Amino acid sequence: MRLPKFEYLEPTNVKEITSLLKKNADAILVAGGTDILPKMKQRIVTPKFVINVTKIEDLKKIEFGEKKGLILGSLATLDNISKSKQVIEKFTALAQAAGRIASPQLRNMGTIGGNISIESMCMYFNQSHEWRKGRPHLCFKLGGDRCFVAKGSKECLALFQADTPPALIALGATVTIVGSTGKEKIINIEDFYTQKSKKVNILKPTDFVKQIHIPTPPKGTKSCYLKMAQRAAIDYPIAGAAACITISGNKCKNAGIAVTSVGSGPLRLKEVEDILIGNSITDELIAKAADAAYEKIRPMPHFNISAWYKRKLIRVLVKRSIKQACI
Amino acid sequence: MDKYSIIGKRQVRTDSAVKATGAAKFAGDFLLPGMLVGKILRSPLPHAKILNIDTSKAMKLKGVRAVATGKDITDVPHGIMRVDPLPPILRDKYSLAKERVRFIGDEVAAVAAIDEDTAMEAMELIKVDYEELPAVFDIWESLKPGAIQIHENFPGNISTLTAFHHGDVDKAFAESDYILEDKYETQRTHHSYIEPHAVTAEFYASGEVTIWPSTQTPFYDKVCIAETIGVPVNKVRVIKPHVGGGFGGKGDVHSLFPISALLSRMSGKPVQISYTREEDIVSTTRRHPTIIEQKIGVKKDGRIMGFDSKILADGGAYQGISMVSIFVMAVFQHGPYKLPNYRCDARRVYTNKPYCGAQRGHGGIQPRFVIESMMDIIAENLNLDPLEIRRINGLHTGDITLNKFRIRSCGHIESIDRAAEDIGWKDKRKKLPEGKGVGLACNFFASGPGFSYFFTNPPSHSGVNITAEEDGTFLLYTGSSDIGQGSETALAMIAAEAIGLSSIDQLKVIAADTATTPMDLGTYGSRLTTIAGNAAKMAGTKIKDELVETAADMLEANKEDLESRDGRIYVKGNPEKGVTIREAVQTRFQIKRIPLTTVGYYNPPADTGDTSGFAEGKVSLSPTWSFGAHAAEVDVDKETGVVKVNKVSAAHDCGFAINPLAVEGQIEGCVSMTFGQATCEEFRTEKGWTMTNSFLDYKLPTSEDMPDVIPIIVESIDTEGPFGAKEASEGANIPTIPAITNAICDAIGFRVRDLPINPEKILRALEKKGGEK
Ligand SMILES: Cc1cc2nc3c(=O)[nH]c(=O)nc-3n(C[C@H](O)[C@H](O)[C@H](O)COP(=O)(O)OP(=O)(O)OC[C@H]3O[C@@H](n4cnc5c(N)ncnc54)[C@H](O)[C@@H]3O)c2cc1C
């Protein structure tokens, strides 16, 4: 498949990005391109301008200091993140999530900024121009008037499937966004998401994700991300769960639990965290926590995976990820 | 000394270097001066009448050189079911739709332009007026009285119907001690060859056309192209370039071949068409999904008495090769177990979906899944060992089946024993902890079809010519198509052994050019090693005979006393007394001044059944048959339902392994394909729209998913195949699925009856079982 025609822009610093975005309304950012280029080939997105941001070397860095924590430039590749010694040691869930995305080739190209910014997906949306041609109706996400996932739904029900967001939520990350005025804004990764499938994040067309920050976890903290997909490589998760647990004096002092591929965004499961915090972690408690996750989520059937199965799977993944974060 | 000097040894393939370096040219790699890009406009609707096609705007676009529609082709539909007395209506498709489209993806118009972007823009400018017709997507809807007729000539939307009855099945059931009735479903799968369909065509001012298609059957392409564009057959030259896999998907003549020739004629320029992966998945063929109702009656000791199956296949919008598909699904049931009474009724139904055809293991996959599952259930219920029930029912060398298949060699029992041993059957079956299990299943497959469905009077099934060069090397001409399986290497090995050469480097294979190589029916039905191999052996033996005669004169010896081997012809028992093959060739040329060219050919024997028309199931189906058994070991995650296949021990009786390296590769490839069908692959459509049109959504297993595959070569030394060889490229595709599902049953007690085995199915089964307890 061919890319549509576009004008190509190549800024060399963040300021330039902001001004290019401001100047050109019909522009999109391309980082690794692994998500957006297929969409352009399918003519889901046909921008006039393509802004390649990968020339900004500074934003490819992965930096860590005990005090300042982990700073990931938005252009750090998934492969580098998954293989960084410090990320593996201190932010295990993130290394695991980044290392299970797509395939080695795609991880070499794909960036963390791109991963947190990908849109929700759906088999009625992620299709080519050829496929759509004879469709009598378009779905909400394509600007149409209905949702094919659930007849009668008043809104888009496409599925958010990125792998790193639940790990980032569990680890308590923040995102630095540069707005149209050039001003930086720091928000919790959780607040980055709208929980609306039609537009899953709060980014405005002129916004740019500069970096991601995760504070150094307190002593006694471990984390884990578990993903289940149809195949060992290439596939998006059927479900994914991240757990970050801090144990102090035999008790769970802090817990971060989040899941993906269950709805319109990555979901933090406060109910599950609350069950764990303040208690000593036993198999019974973990089972109770996993049941709470099962109760909380309300997935839709997607890509031949039923809601029934997804809920069962989340229960298992939450249980196992907590267990692994406690070993 | 080894019995042979070339065959039976691990031979690196002749095409390895060009492929490893990227130098090999595939159909989409040709760059001819002035070449245009061709694109095909497809139907966006599942079923519609074409009222009008307005191409004027597209023609006016700068850079567009030709726009073709159904009006530009003859009224001869293209299709490969041509042999007398098959009715012409079996050819039910045009390269470009004439009046009606029948699935989303049907070819409607084609454009040739100076580049791909222009061609794509032009497609948007073609205006097609359709009158939408009701469409049927489900076989039950399609079979309902009053359902819309997809093809006028096929009432009730039944595209193919076969009924084979041998013996007295009802009596056999009455005499059985135990009868099992069961029902299974299999899914559509796609071949997913690495190279999507592509073609380059050049029409010359002389009125001739040369086509380089990605194909398995160049001699069929030639005829279909000629008929579609209305030129004499001898004006069409088809040259098969390197092909990146076909697995049955490139054995049908696909529309792009005639279309490329047509566009080239219209534009006066060479034209290349390369399908996108999406186009390829949507518009080519795929394996038939089936619903099979099966009844097997046995005696207490497990001996099969009666066998009755009802097969219902969803064919999609067109016929393609499916008449063969349905036929082989029925007749391949006659092995590896002896069936004293047999009945099979099979139907294929049209629906408004992408159509189905042949895929590796053609006709074997679906019924074998059923039979091998049921053999296990029967064994369980009669308290028999699953291996034992397979042994006692097995065919043996010398057997003739009810439908007259001749079993000339049989490695059935050895395959079972070796696969079982490799997996550790004795220590594992029923002995592993809950969640782990082993299973075994057998196979049976044709070594090449004994009949042609295309030509009524082919010169032979396969021809091979060998010509000696002045320096004592040789050229081997074959019409057969190596599509990646290594058949050219196998033919070179066979011919080199027959001549008595010291290495295959002394023989160059020139293949699959319809203008220069002798006719061969093509690559399908696992026919090349047996059928083209026999032709190569004959041509090579004739060369040897001629040279031995010359050498006898040179050595003043009796030709009966001479042996040709390792590049020399010498007196048996006295190797010093001899001449080199090169010397023999040169002496012969010097004395006789007659070119040394031999003609080899092969036609399957007529003694395997009666050949009075294959619609009745009485054709000579195959010269000989392969056997085999796979044993699988699985681990089931009882919380998630995920099945991990750890290992497949794959024993295959290929008669004799001409090239063991290639046989192992074929066995591994076979397992990977049906491991995929067992565990994750499924071609899905929704209201006619293909939902699995990329390799993200169509789940082919990755290398990380693959189990360990242990290829086990069983050699039964066949009497018909060249040097005892039988097929090795499809039979090993067949038992993987039931071996895995039988192992799952051993692990968790759940019988998989529909494919693929997804985790959700397993989890539901596990929960149900838990609830029952
Ligand atoms: C076959 C396949 C399998 C895949 N499997 C997975 C998977 O298993 N899990 C998974 O999570 N993803 C998967 N992906 C999606 C994708 O590869 C990853 O999400 C990747 O991280 C995207 O990063 P990128 O840099 O390539 O993004 P791009 O494609 O460059 O961009 C993605 C989106 O983010 C925007 N964007 C990028 N960078 C910024 C920034 N700094 N600021 C603001 N906006 C930005 C772009 O405008 C675009 O809309 C898969 C993709 C493919 C093709």
* Residue B771 pLDDT level (bands cut at 50, 70, 90): low
Of A214-218, B219-223, B326-330, minimum mean pLDDT range? B326-330
B719 C-beta neighbours (distance < 10 Å), count: 13
Check pLDDT > 90 for residue B731. Answer: yes
Q: Are residues A231 and B699, on separate chains, in Cβ contact within 8 Å?
A: yes
Mean pLDDT across A275-299: 97
Nearest CA to ligand 1 atom 45: A114
Q: How many CB atoms lie within 10 A of CB B497?
A: 26
Cβ atoms of A26 and A49 within 8 Å: the answer is: yes
Look at residue B773 in the predicted model and tell me its pLDDT.
38
CB contact under 8 A, A231 and B120: no
Q: Is residue B163 one of the residues assigned to a domain?
A: no
CA distance B428 to chain A (A): 27
| Chain A residues bordering chain B (beta-carbon distance below 8 Å) | 1-2, 5, 103, 123, 127-128, 130-131, 133-135, 228, 230-235, 303-306, 308-309, 312-313, 316
Token pair in block for residue B263: 């566009």
Which tokens in the block code for residue A205?
């067309």
With beta carbons less than 8 A apart as the criterion, state whether B298 and B306 touch: no
B664 to chain A nearest CA, in Å? Answer: 25
The answer to whether residue B684 neighbours chain A at the CB level (below 8 Å) is yes
Chain-centroid distance of CA B185 in Å reads 21
A to B CB pairs, distance under 8 Å: 65
Within 10 Å of residue A157's Cβ, how many Cβ atoms?
Answer: 24
Any domain includes B303: yes
B209 conformational bin, left if phi > 0, alpha if psi -120 to 50, beta if neither: beta
Does residue B751 sit within a domain? yes
Q: Write the CA distances from B699 to B78, B184, B278, B561, B639, integer angstroms.
A: 31, 22, 14, 60, 22
State if residue A27 touches ligand 1 by the CB under 6 angstroms criterion. no
Compute the mean pLDDT over every residue in chain B, rounded to the nearest whole number. 96
Report how far residue A300's alpha carbon sits from residue A264's, in angstroms, rounded to the nearest whole number. Answer: 10
How far off is chain B from A156, nearest CA to CA, in Å? Answer: 19
Specify whether B641 is located in the same domain as B722.
Answer: yes
Contact assignment for A232 to B639 by CB distance below 8 Å: no
All residues of chain A having their beta carbon less than 8 Å from the beta carbon of residue B120 are 2
pLDDT(B8) > 50:
yes
Atom 17 of ligand 1 has which residue's CA nearest to it?
Answer: A34
Listed in order, strand segments (DSSP E) in A20-145 are 27-30, 49-52, 62-65, 69-73
Beta bridge partners of B36: B271
The amino acid that residue A215 corresponds to is P
Residue to mutate among A103, A309, A310, A311, with most B CBs inside 10 A, is A309
Contact B139, B353 (CB under 8 A): no
Q: Is B773 inside any structural domain? A: no
The answer to whether residue B544 scores a pLDDT higher than 70 is: yes
Q: Are residues B475 and B494 in the same domain?
A: yes
Same domain, B551 and B631: no
Residues of chain B with Cβ-Cβ distance to A1 below 8 Å are 276, 278
In this predicted model, which residue has the larger pLDDT, B456 or B650? B650
Residues 6 or more apart whose CB falls under 8 angstroms from that of A28 comprise: A36, A45, A47, A49, A50, A51
Q: Do B278 and A303 touch (CB under 8 A)?
A: no
Name B113's bridge partners: B37, B64
Sheet strands side by side (includes B574-580)? B562-565, B568-571, B574-580
- CATH number, domain with residue B104: 3.90.1170.50
Mutate to test the interface with B, among A34, A39, A125, A231 (most CBs of B within 10 A): A231
The mean per-residue pLDDT over the stretch B756-770 comes to: 92
Residue B609: its pLDDT value, please? Answer: 58
**B221 domain-assigned:** yes
How many structural domains are present in chain B? 3
pLDDT at B769 exceeding the cut of 90: no
Nearest to A32 by CA among A79, A88, A94: A79
- Phi and psi at residue A224, to the nearest 5°: -155, 140
Closest atom of ligand 1 to A161 CA is 11
Check if A209 has its Cβ closer than 6 Å to any atom of ligand 1: yes
Q: Are residues B351 and B418 in the same domain?
A: yes
In a domain, B310, yes or no: yes
Which residues are B296's β-sheet partners? B180, B307
- The stretch B73-92 carries a mean pLDDT of 90
Among the residues of B394-478, which ranges form H helices?
Answer: 412-423, 425-428
User: Are B690 and B549 found together in one domain?
Assistant: no
What pLDDT, on a 0 to 100 scale, did the predictor assign at position B614?
Answer: 55
Q: Does B352 touch chain A (CB under 8 A)?
A: no
B412: helix, strand or coil: helix
Please provide residue B348's backbone torsions phi and psi, each rounded to the nearest 5 degrees: -125, 135
In a domain, B186, yes or no: no
Q: Give the CATH number of the domain where residue B413 resides.
A: 3.30.365.10
Structural domains of chain A sorted by starting position, each given as residue range(s) with its CATH number in brackets: 1-55 (3.30.43.10), 58-117+159-214 (3.30.465.10), 221-325 (3.30.390.50)
Residues B47 and B100 reside in one and the same domain: yes
Q: Supply the pLDDT for residue B439.
A: 98
| Average pLDDT across chain A, whole number | 97
Cα end-to-end distance, chain A, whole Å: 47
Which chain B residues touch A135 with a CB distance below 8 Å?
44, 689
Instruction: List the beta bridge partners of residue B452.
Output: none
Do B94 and B232 fall within a single domain? yes
Q: Cβ(A79) to ligand 1 under 6 A?
A: no
Tell me, yes or no, whether B295 and B278 share the same domain: no
pLDDT on residue B617 = 47
| Domain extent for B578 | 16-22+461-602
Same domain, B473 and B528: yes
Residue B124 Cα to chain centre, angstroms: 36
Check whether residue B382 and residue B488 sit in a common domain.
no
Q: Which atom of ligand 1 is nearest to the CA of A35?
A: 29
Q: Are B572 and B557 in contact (CB under 8 A)?
A: no
**Pick from A135, A304, A313: CB nearest B684:** A304
| Residue B707 and residue B632 in one domain | yes
Same domain, B654 and B753: yes
B131: phi then psi, degrees, rounded to nearest 5: -110, 110
Cβ–ligand 1 contact at A82 (below 6 Å): no
Distance A37 CA to ligand 1 centre (A): 9
Residue B123 lies in a domain: yes
Query: How close A247 gets to chain B, by Cα (Å)?
Result: 27
